[in-house]
Amino acid sequence: MWSLKDNDLVGIAFIDTHIYIHQLVTLKTLIFAADIQKSVTLYRYQEEQRVLSQVARVSWGYQDLAVS
């Protein structure tokens, strides 16, 4: 994640997904990410701690649901 501060981009959070994400949708502090393996992952950003964490992942290719 990046923030625009004084006409400069400043990195504020990062998460390595290990796969190509082709679509992102945000809703306040939630991020829905769709990847090329036909899965959707829900991430949550906590502004106070500057933490981006995975909340849940649904994969239609393997019919599984993993919740962290």
In the chain, the number of structural domains is 1
Residue 27 belongs to a domain: yes
Residue 36 belongs to a domain: yes
pTM, whole model, 2 decimals? 0.69
Listed in sequence order, the residues at least 6 apart from 48 whose beta carbon sits closer than 8 Å to its beta carbon are none
Q: Which pLDDT tens digit goes with each residue over 7-55? A: 998 888 877 777 888 888 989 989 999 988 778 899 999 988 888 889 9
DSSP-derived secondary structure for 20-37: -EEEEEEETTEEEEEETT
Residue 42 belongs to a domain: yes
Rg of the chain over all Cα atoms, to the nearest angstrom: 13
Within 10 A of 34 (CB to CB), how many other CB atoms are there? 14
Residue 43 belongs to a domain: yes
pLDDT bracket for residue 65 (50, 70, 90):
low
